[in-house]
Amino acid sequence: MKQVVTFGEVMMRLSPPLNYRLPQTATLEVTYGGGDANVAAALAQMGVPAAHVGVFPANELGYAAANHLRRYGVDMSRCLFTEGHRLGLYFLEVGASLRPSRIVYDRADSAFANLDPAAFNWDELLKDAGWLHWTGITPAISAAAAQATADAIAAARRLGITVSADVNYRRNLWQYGQKAQDVMPDLVAGCDIVVCTEGDADDLFGIKAEENSDNGFISMSQQLTQRFPQIKRVIATRRQTQSASHERICGLLWDQGEFFETPFYDISPVVDRIGGGDSFISGFIYGDAHYESREQALSFATIASALKHTIHGDINLVAPAEVEHLMQGNLTGRLLR
Amino acid sequence: MKQVVTFGEVMMRLSPPLNYRLPQTATLEVTYGGGDANVAAALAQMGVPAAHVGVFPANELGYAAANHLRRYGVDMSRCLFTEGHRLGLYFLEVGASLRPSRIVYDRADSAFANLDPAAFNWDELLKDAGWLHWTGITPAISAAAAQATADAIAAARRLGITVSADVNYRRNLWQYGQKAQDVMPDLVAGCDIVVCTEGDADDLFGIKAEENSDNGFISMSQQLTQRFPQIKRVIATRRQTQSASHERICGLLWDQGEFFETPFYDISPVVDRIGGGDSFISGFIYGDAHYESREQALSFATIASALKHTIHGDINLVAPAEVEHLMQGNLTGRLLR
Amino acid sequence: MKQVVTFGEVMMRLSPPLNYRLPQTATLEVTYGGGDANVAAALAQMGVPAAHVGVFPANELGYAAANHLRRYGVDMSRCLFTEGHRLGLYFLEVGASLRPSRIVYDRADSAFANLDPAAFNWDELLKDAGWLHWTGITPAISAAAAQATADAIAAARRLGITVSADVNYRRNLWQYGQKAQDVMPDLVAGCDIVVCTEGDADDLFGIKAEENSDNGFISMSQQLTQRFPQIKRVIATRRQTQSASHERICGLLWDQGEFFETPFYDISPVVDRIGGGDSFISGFIYGDAHYESREQALSFATIASALKHTIHGDINLVAPAEVEHLMQGNLTGRLLR
Amino acid sequence: MKQVVTFGEVMMRLSPPLNYRLPQTATLEVTYGGGDANVAAALAQMGVPAAHVGVFPANELGYAAANHLRRYGVDMSRCLFTEGHRLGLYFLEVGASLRPSRIVYDRADSAFANLDPAAFNWDELLKDAGWLHWTGITPAISAAAAQATADAIAAARRLGITVSADVNYRRNLWQYGQKAQDVMPDLVAGCDIVVCTEGDADDLFGIKAEENSDNGFISMSQQLTQRFPQIKRVIATRRQTQSASHERICGLLWDQGEFFETPFYDISPVVDRIGGGDSFISGFIYGDAHYESREQALSFATIASALKHTIHGDINLVAPAEVEHLMQGNLTGRLLR
Amino acid sequence: MKQVVTFGEVMMRLSPPLNYRLPQTATLEVTYGGGDANVAAALAQMGVPAAHVGVFPANELGYAAANHLRRYGVDMSRCLFTEGHRLGLYFLEVGASLRPSRIVYDRADSAFANLDPAAFNWDELLKDAGWLHWTGITPAISAAAAQATADAIAAARRLGITVSADVNYRRNLWQYGQKAQDVMPDLVAGCDIVVCTEGDADDLFGIKAEENSDNGFISMSQQLTQRFPQIKRVIATRRQTQSASHERICGLLWDQGEFFETPFYDISPVVDRIGGGDSFISGFIYGDAHYESREQALSFATIASALKHTIHGDINLVAPAEVEHLMQGNLTGRLLR
Amino acid sequence: MKQVVTFGEVMMRLSPPLNYRLPQTATLEVTYGGGDANVAAALAQMGVPAAHVGVFPANELGYAAANHLRRYGVDMSRCLFTEGHRLGLYFLEVGASLRPSRIVYDRADSAFANLDPAAFNWDELLKDAGWLHWTGITPAISAAAAQATADAIAAARRLGITVSADVNYRRNLWQYGQKAQDVMPDLVAGCDIVVCTEGDADDLFGIKAEENSDNGFISMSQQLTQRFPQIKRVIATRRQTQSASHERICGLLWDQGEFFETPFYDISPVVDRIGGGDSFISGFIYGDAHYESREQALSFATIASALKHTIHGDINLVAPAEVEHLMQGNLTGRLLR
């Protein structure tokens, strides 16, 4: 499989152990992640060549963040390390039962937000790539980040590389003066495959469809692909969240007029739900390349995402064989010796 | 809101991490709490002025215990630090599933048990207070503690301060030669509002009523308020304990002839059930002061208590906005960014 | 009660904390256990005299392993400490929800596997014993271990000691050139009581019976006892595994033609499922000696095993009174003060 | 003793455990501190009434920081909690032997830096105070912070309150467009007592004196007090740093023409050198109020600072009796039972 | 070697990790020890048969304490587990450099203090023993404990068993109404060998001798053995405490008129100085039995004690071969592969 | 700088926290390292392109080991992952003061030991390399490993690549039937630069020279280079080990007749001495490429090694700028802000 390249910000994540709250903890667990880089890392540790393009401060924190992804096999050689800005952080309190997990972001003015779009020669950066993946978080960070995203997509189109996006609309993030609704359409127009829920499609593109229904998803997908003809496939997970500790997800795929969905998978307890979406698209990229049928690709993606909910940290540390073990119906978690 | 004052013993709590048992652990997690002080702390960290009156040994353990409450905003300036006695301790093994949590008390002969009732000038101690709260644990500890409780209640009545009590009958605690049945009635007679279950009412006051039924609670409340006419309101939680890891609770209020109850709230998993009752009455004190309707006050109290089950330690570290988020129907623990 | 003697390998168990995976952890939790020694330890800490016969390397790891069992009261004075070989290890990743727990064994060429059968004078080793217990893991390790097992059983028969076995067939373990199907029948022939499921009976002895049905268990037990007339009782747990975090078990006993079974017990969450079978047979040995009725013995064994699933480590650290508390119907895990 | 009031920024401090480096750690230890607030905290836990005036973000991180100081008894009721900015952070790698400890600051654009000087009514804030303390870090943070410092000093002078400053010149901090050399003289002019080394005096005021010599310190003190006649006393510690793990300090005092110094105290190993200077001035404030002789006050300050090097965290958690035990010559650290 | 029997109280020891102080810690490290039991444990793990006679509460804490000693091989089968009293505790803050370690005792009214002397049949308890060891702590705890100590010594004398004592005078402990000076002489009179410093001899027996000098030790030993003719040997360590982190010790032996001493051994850093004296006498008991020369026995004892200072916990976990490695001059701590 | 390639075994290292001993610990800290791979990792994290050639088991342990080196930037793409063998382990107890650190090896029969020399195409593996480094540990592991080492050296010579070796004689390792004295000379004959002490030269090559003297080192170097004319430079550290916690080292270089040495550097306390030699040669490789003078290269190497003693784990995580800071004379570990 050819290299998958991702582009986006990597943050340090700081969370109290177990279910402790920030005002009571004396230690924080540290890991690193970002919606795009998580995809590269999940793929790399599954054996898929993957590279991440990011910008880090040239200090111990930036090096530590890059090391974290390198550890799981991501090619970080195309990342920039710049002086004068900071590493974005987020603080996560892990909820339980009816208490939600909460994130306090502290990512303003990061090295990534202050990137120089001209510093990226995308034709060079993508020269070995077969796939480019980005998320809607990246253009939300700064005008420069949005510009670089546009440049990357344009280069990918020139080079004939598949482009995927998780549109992932985060209202609070868009604070640099432009609106997601103005920026995202042009970017999405360059994609072959998007992760998009009915809610995101409404918020970003004004596409109306019933939420949490198969017909809604199909309708949304039809409207989306009509509006953006480059898009061939739309995928999403549907969540039936029972509590902070109990999640149910299924996977949905609309592929050029055909609709597929998986059963719901039950995750109880949820160990760590951060990165659940990233593991879905990384699973789909893997599955798309390794299985004949679209059902299998979707099944792989959905089970990979379900498994991510049982893994600590942002990155989905599961082997393909583990996903396949569940695809074969082994869903009761029986001890493997 | 005027200051809430609590009176009672604070203990060091020592528990093995996770579900480890005492004979196998090499570390103990330390926190501090007490049924009354927990109420002050929950209120203080919600922004309500709260002071605790207690007695601690004048050594590092006593200072550490007082510091713990001070940390969450409790005014500890009225506490006494005395020589010659010890800090009460309790060891908690946290159960799971069908294995119950267990407490080994080691609280005999504490500084609090050896308090001198004459050391407390309650008219002075309560001069800024609007509310006095105590629990049935305090008069169980020693004759001196019972005397001081009686003195506090008498002063509160003189000063026109609302008095609440969690009657909280603990059979094993009453070991100084008097019976709860002889001591408690006079104390409860001075209260405006009590936390009391049908079981407690039977044990302490010989009041008979069907357990775990609305009619029983109403009947018990009627009998209780007839016997103690100062009492205007009776509140309680009803528990449907499924396992050490799965609790269901609802809140009950009898207010001068009217009966209110909340739905059951499901807590799975339970992170820490210690202080669940204390968080209910502290929630009610908060709710009573901040909401128009009694339903809302009860709902706030019950959800606050449900949330406490997801918080480590004796003290309910939840903000009013967090409780209100659930009151608005957000019960699925969905991640907050 | 007379001494119970067990024979088998003890390994160091290394597991990442919580649900972390091996490639991401920086610490490993260490404990020690083995299917046979776990039985001795559970019994010893319940007050039953118990001794383990094992072989350890004469280095810090071997001493640490022996210490661990000694700590819970097992008489380790009959163990051998030999030069030149290693302590067997296993690495355990604890799963959650639909992700199974996984074990990576690293036990090849251990001191135990290299034991000298002639080093054991079983008549001497068993001289105070009333019961000998072994598991099907021991003869799977090496020809020498199988020989020593045979010697122990022969001595026990000579001395009139009750012999029990957990047949526990582990396909991957049998790698020294002999087949379980050739070795086990002679060993099992010397037993009075065996733990055996329908699946094990089929794999090891070619006994066919419907799996997961009462009739199947009865039929299997009949065939087994006909083939091995020394066997008087067959016991087993039946598992309805819901997920790595949720187990349901019931206990089964076939005793000279009579069949007994317990209700299913629900374990959610599972804290640590390793040693669940060992706690069942140790519970049965205890129950058999302490209760009049076979129902009670079976109930004790099954509840002891259910409780083990809530205890960290291989060894069942529960007191008889705790099991009996549940036998009396207290299954909701209500806090014990 | 009347209340001591401090003014300045409080940061979250994040450090890897032991001597681990940032790129290798999976946990960070969390504490909170600031050069001024550390003084309030050390005094408060010694029993001196102390209040801190600060500005925190109105989020969990801000609350946690304020809680930390409150825990040790600091009156935090005069602090502001504002929306829209962040809590300053610093990452500390603890060195050892010839490897220095390193700090990576991440404090830009904090809530404190963005304070509104008009939000502080200093006459009100200082109305119960007998002493105001500030450090040279505060005016370095922003023009607003410098203005607020000037306002505080002016109010203190109006109210006849003693003012102390630790001039503490940090070149890298002054980045808002003004120079320390322009800002500090006017602020220092309002002080009664300053902590100042020969190096600081040269950097900030162009005062030349031999470094690390008694004569140099005396000469510097004379020049400083001539230039700023309000200043009556100059104090400092002199360090003979042997390694990151081995420090030697003595205390120096110039008091209206008289010079005092202590012996050198050896600290090996150094547990945590952060806050060493803050513990010196807090010790001096305590000593000045509690002892007759200036020698004793200086001795108390210096030993308090030496002890701080053996305490984890920014805050000097030592009791006066502990300092006095060393003042009596007990310098060999003999176990106290 | 015949069995060594010790008699005394075992306490739970609770200490903050590293050099943290009690008011700032959220975890406590747990271990168990006692001056007498530490001797048994050190010997047992060196391969010497050792039994401890003690009294524990019949609860999880008592069982955990007994387990701890059992783990290192001590025969605990002669211990009593009684209802109604508690396990003694002590809290240890580990100092560093010029900050001393501090102990807060919480041992009043323990199960051991409330022992019944008639519960011990010493002739039976000592029937396999060759050596009885006790410390001056035991008779200090209660009149009952002093009586039991006297009974044990009397039985040992009847049975011809060697008796050793570490006189270990702790002023603060003697609080039950009798004075050490009245109780100890009769007990010491029954000993063959005592650990005693010049200071202890003065405090307990009014024997005057220059402290910290060889002549003083010799003079004290002469006076002591003249007064108590059963005593044949007097041993002690001399300490040159540099700081809480740096200790120097040498060993002294007066044996029927002959005097021996070792060089000073430097311990820097000290990891854990608790149990340093217990490891000296246990080392001497081992050395006395295993070496021809008294110099070697004394050297073994002193080096064992020095090594103890580098071991966490009360118990000296060093193998004889490790001590002998140092006796051969390998004092530079060079890595052993 | 061209790529540096290393070849050798990587092991999992398991060590109790702090100074705990194996029989008392419940957790082990995990890291990974090997004498050769440590060199690659130190260089990679300094920015030098570095690749390691190794063999790992194709299981979670093998992946975790490879991840660890990848994390610090080592190109692991040339490593092999094979079925059927294990990852070598070693257990490290960290000593203190006069107690030595101890290693218990458990590395027999590892995947590396069972490598197939034919699996390595060294001309391909070294095609981008400028430097090959190996240690005397590798040929000690197995005949296959020795053969592969010989093959690598031969290829390097063919390709004109500089070859360095740390001869590192470990008597206990050579257990596969050949003697170091027979194997090493042919391997060393292909090297340009060797790390070798007088003791190693005697043990391996029978070269006699005074130990711990400059003349001895010079004499040894002369003899060594006469015997192996390809060798142009000999380097070594000289250690004056004071205790397990206090090391002194200097660096020695003999370069074609010229002798250089550095001052001694004092390391107190030693945090982690494992990998001290590996950091010396990696420092020399870096210094040789980046500095004009041989004095500077040697100084860089020696200070890098000294700093390694303050870093946890096998790998020297120091930046070139940190080493240079000390080269400029900043040896007192003064805090860097």
A333 → closest Cβ in C20, C95, C172: C95
Question: From the CA of E201, how many Å to the nearest CA of chain F?
Answer: 31
pLDDT along chain E (337 residues), means of 10: 97 98 98 98 98 98 98 98 97 98 97 98 98 98 98 98 97 95 98 98 97 95 98 98 98 97 98 98 98 97 98 98 98 94
Share the mean pLDDT of chain A: 97
Chosen for mutation from D89, D97, D271, D273 (greatest number of chain F CBs closer than 10 Å) is: D97
What pLDDT score does C63 carry? 97
What average pLDDT does the segment F251-278 reach?
98
* Helical pair C37-45 and C60-71, crossing angle rounded to 10 deg: 40
F334/D100 CB distance under 8 A: yes
pLDDT 10s digits, D79-98: 999 999 999 999 999 999 99
Q: At residue B1, does pLDDT exceed 90? A: no
Nearest-CA neighbor of F192 among F162, F223, F172?
F162
Phi first, then psi: give them for residue A206, nearest 5 degrees.
65, 20
What percentage of chain F has pLDDT greater than the value 90?
A: 99
Domain with residue C155: its CATH number is: 3.40.1190.20
Nearest-CA neighbor of B30 among E13, E14, D31, D64?
E14
Clarify whether F186 is annotated catalytic. Answer: no
Kindly write down the DSSP assignment for every residue of C166-220, as one continuous string: E----GGG--SS--HHHHHHHHHTT-SEEE--HHHHHHHH-----TTSHHHHHHH
What pLDDT score does A1 carry? 86
Residues of C with CB under 8 A from a CB of B: 45, 72, 265-271, 306-307, 309-313, 317-318, 322, 325-326, 330-337
E312 neighbors F24 (Cβ within 8 angstroms): yes
Kindly write down the DSSP assignment for every residue of A193-209, as one continuous string: EEE--HHHHHHHH----
Tell whether ipTM is more than 0.90: yes
Could you tell me the two tokens for B140? 């169980």
Residue D305 lies in domain: 3-319
Chosen for mutation from F60, F61, F68, F70 (greatest number of chain A CBs closer than 10 Å) is: F70
Residues of F with CB under 8 A from a CB of C: 14, 21-31, 59-61, 63-64, 67, 86-87, 89, 91, 93, 102, 104, 106, 108-109
Share the mean pLDDT of chain F: 97
D70/B68 CB distance under 8 A: no
What average pLDDT does the segment A222-237 reach?
98
A173: DSSP letter: G
Establish if E337 belongs to a structural domain: no
Establish if E325 belongs to a structural domain: no
Phi first, then psi: give them for residue C40, nearest 5 degrees.
-60, -45
C59 → closest Cβ in F64, F87, F104: F104
What pLDDT score does E131 carry? 98
CA distance C93 to C73: 28
Question: From the CA of B93, how many Å to the nearest CA of chain C?
Answer: 10
B25 neighbors B16 (Cβ within 8 angstroms): yes
Residues of C with CB under 8 A from a CB of A: 18-21, 23-24, 95-103, 105, 170, 172, 241-246, 269, 273
A245 → closest Cβ in B45, B269, B318: B269
CA distance D217 to D223: 10
Strands B233-239 and B193-195: parallel
CA distance E223 to E227: 6
> For E331, which residue in chain F has the nearest alpha carbon?
F98
> For A331, which residue in chain C has the nearest alpha carbon?
C98
Establish if B237 belongs to a structural domain: yes
Taking the C-alpha atoms of C129, C130, C135 and C139 in order, what is their torsion angle to the nearest 10 degrees? 50
Establish if C40 belongs to a structural domain: yes
F332 → closest Cβ in D170, D172, D243: D243
**Catalytic-role residue among E75, E166, E200, E278:** E278
Question: From the CA of B168, how many Å to the nearest CA of chain E?
Answer: 24
F26/C26 CB distance under 8 A: no
Q: At residue A222, does pLDDT exceed 90? A: yes
E108/B109 CB distance under 8 A: yes
Taking the C-alpha atoms of C61, C64, C68 and C74 in order, what is their torsion angle to the nearest 10 degrees? 100
CA distance E304 to A164: 67
Chain C residues with CB inside 8 Å of E73's CB?
Answer: 67, 70
Counted residue by residue, chain A has a size of 337
D19/F307 CB distance under 8 A: no
F95 → closest Cβ in E310, E313, E337: E310
CA distance C145 to C109: 12
Chosen for mutation from C28, C31, C107 (greatest number of chain F CBs closer than 10 Å) is: C28
CA distance C16 to C14: 7
Where do the DSSP E strands lie in E19-122?
27-33, 50-53, 55-57, 80-82, 89-93, 102-106
What pLDDT score does D12 carry? 98
CA distance B290 to E300: 73
> For F92, which residue in chain E has the nearest alpha carbon?
E337
Within 10 A of E170 (CB to CB), how many other CB atoms are there?
14
Q: At residue D3, does pLDDT exceed 90? A: yes
Domains: count for chain B: 1
> For F58, which residue in chain C has the nearest alpha carbon?
C104
Establish if D326 belongs to a structural domain: no
pLDDT 10s digits, C62-90: 999 999 999 999 999 999 999 999 999 99
**Catalytic-role residue among B75, B166, B278, B314:** B278
A332 → closest Cβ in C24, C96, C242: C242
C73 → closest Cβ in E68, E70, E72: E70
> For F337, which residue in chain D has the nearest alpha carbon?
D103
Chain F residues with CB inside 8 Å of E269's CB?
Answer: 96-97, 245, 269
SS3 A6: strand
Neighbours of chain A (3+ CB pairs under 8 A): B, C, D, F
Phi first, then psi: give them for residue C270, nearest 5 degrees.
-80, 125
Chain A residues with CB inside 8 Å of B335's CB?
Answer: 95, 100-103, 244, 273
What pLDDT score does B101 carry? 98
> For A58, which residue in chain D has the nearest alpha carbon?
D104
Establish if E53 belongs to a structural domain: yes
Residue pairs between chains B and D whose CB atoms are closer than 8 Å? 16
A30/D30 CB distance under 8 A: no
Neighbours of chain F (3+ CB pairs under 8 A): A, C, D, E
Band of pLDDT at residue D1, cut at 50, 70 and 90? confident
What Å distances lie between residue B28 and B113, E224, F25, CA to CA?
A: 25, 45, 15
Q: Contacts from E287-296 at CB under 8 Å and sequence distance 24+? A: E289/E1, E289/E48, E290/E1, E290/E320, E294/E253, E294/E255, E294/E258, E294/E260, E295/E260, E296/E327
Could you tell me the two tokens for A279? 């593991």
F18 → closest Cβ in E306, E312, E322: E312
Question: From the CA of C174, how many Å to the nearest CA of chain F?
Answer: 15
What pLDDT score does E1 carry? 87
Establish if E330 belongs to a structural domain: no
**Catalytic-role residue among D151, D200, D272, D278:** D278
pLDDT 10s digits, D253-283: 999 999 999 999 999 999 999 999 999 999 9
Chain C residues with CB inside 8 Å of A318's CB?
Answer: 99
Neighbours of chain D (3+ CB pairs under 8 A): A, B, E, F
What pLDDT score does F1 carry? 87
Question: From the CA of C15, how many Å to the nearest CA of chain B?
Answer: 15
Establish if C80 belongs to a structural domain: yes
Share the mean pLDDT of chain D: 97
> For A98, which residue in chain B has the nearest alpha carbon?
B333
E28/B25 CB distance under 8 A: no
